[in-house]
Amino acid sequence: MLNQLWHDLWILLFIILIIIGVFAGQGLVIGFGSMGLLVAGISWMWNRLSLEEVFYERQLSHRRVFIGEEVKISISLTNKKPVPLGKVLVEDEIPLSVSIHGADIVASPNPDTQTMRHSTSMAWYERVRWEYSLTPSRRGYYRLGPARIESGDLFGFFTSEVTVTSSDYLLVYPQIVPLPELGLPAMRPLGETKGGQRIYEDASRPQGLRDYQRGDPLKIIDWKATARFQELQVRTFEPSISMNVTLAVAVDTTAHYWEGYSPTYLERIITTAASVARYAADMRYTLGMFSNGTPVLADRPMKIPPSRSPEQLTVILEALATIQPLAMGGMASQLGENWRRFPVGSTVVLISAYIPEELAEVVHTMRRNGHKVVVLYIGNEELPQFEEGVTTYGLHEHFEALELAGEFSPR
Q: Is the pLDDT confidence value at 199 over 50?
A: no
Give the residue-averaged pLDDT of 220-225. 88
SS (H, E, C) 264-324: HHHHHHHHHHHHHHHHHHHCCCEEEEEECCCCCCCCCCEEEEEECCCCHHHHHHHHHHCCC
Backbone φ and ψ of 167, nearest 5°: -130, 155
Q: Lowest-pLDDT range, 65-74, 198-207, 273-282?
A: 198-207
| pLDDT per residue as tens digits for the range 166-194 | 889 999 999 999 888 888 887 678 876 54
pLDDT of residue 31: 77
Q: pLDDT tens digit string along 33-64?
A: 677 777 777 888 898 899 999 999 999 999 99
Count of alpha carbons within 13 angstroms of residue 336, beta-carbon side:
13
Rg (CA), the chain: 33
Q: Which residue, among 51, 55, 157, 139, has the nearest Cα to 95 in the 3D structure?
A: 139
**3-class DSSP assignment, residue 343:** coil
Q: Rounded distance, CA 282 to CA 1, Å?
A: 61
What span, in angstroms and rounded, lies between the C-alpha atoms of 410 and 66?
14
Going by their DSSP bridges, the two strands 159-164 and 54-60 should be labelled as unpaired
Q: What is the pLDDT of residue 339?
A: 95
Q: Note the pLDDT of residue 5.
A: 60
The distance between the two most distant Cα atoms of the chain, rounded to a whole number of Å, is: 129
Q: Which of 133-142, 203-212, 270-279, 282-291 has the least mean pLDDT? A: 203-212
Structurally, what CATH architecture does the domain formed by 54-173 represent?
Sandwich (2.60)
Of the candidates 106, 94, 105, 88, the residue with the CA atom closest to the CA atom of residue 167 = 94
Parse the chain into domains and list their residue ranges.
Answer: 54-173, 179-195+241-404, 206-239
Q: Residue 198 has what pLDDT?
A: 44
CB 362 within 8 A of CB 336: yes
Mean pLDDT is lowest, of 58-67, 237-246, 402-411, for: 237-246
Selection from 155-159, 199-203, 217-221, 320-324 with the highest mean pLDDT: 320-324
Task: Write out pLDDT tens, residues 136-169.
Answer: 999 999 999 999 999 998 877 788 999 998 889 9
Confidence bin at 6 (pLDDT 50/70/90) = low
Residue 303: φ, ψ to 5°:
-130, 110
* Cβ proximity of 396 and 379 under 8 Å: yes
Query: Is the pTM for the entire model greater than 0.75?
Result: yes
Q: Do domains 54-173 and 179-195+241-404 have the same CATH topology?
A: no
The phi, psi pair for 189, rounded to 5°, reads: -70, -20
In this structure, which CATH number among 2.40.50, 3.40.50, 3.30.70, 2.60.40 belongs to the domain 179-195+241-404?
Answer: 3.40.50
* Averaged pLDDT for residues 99-113: 93
Nearest Cα neighbor of 332 from 344, 345, 350 is 350
Residue 300 has pLDDT above 70, yes or no: no
The 347-352 sheet, strands edge to edge: 302-307, 286-291, 244-249, 347-352, 372-377, 391-394
pLDDT at residue 91, rounded to an integer: 97
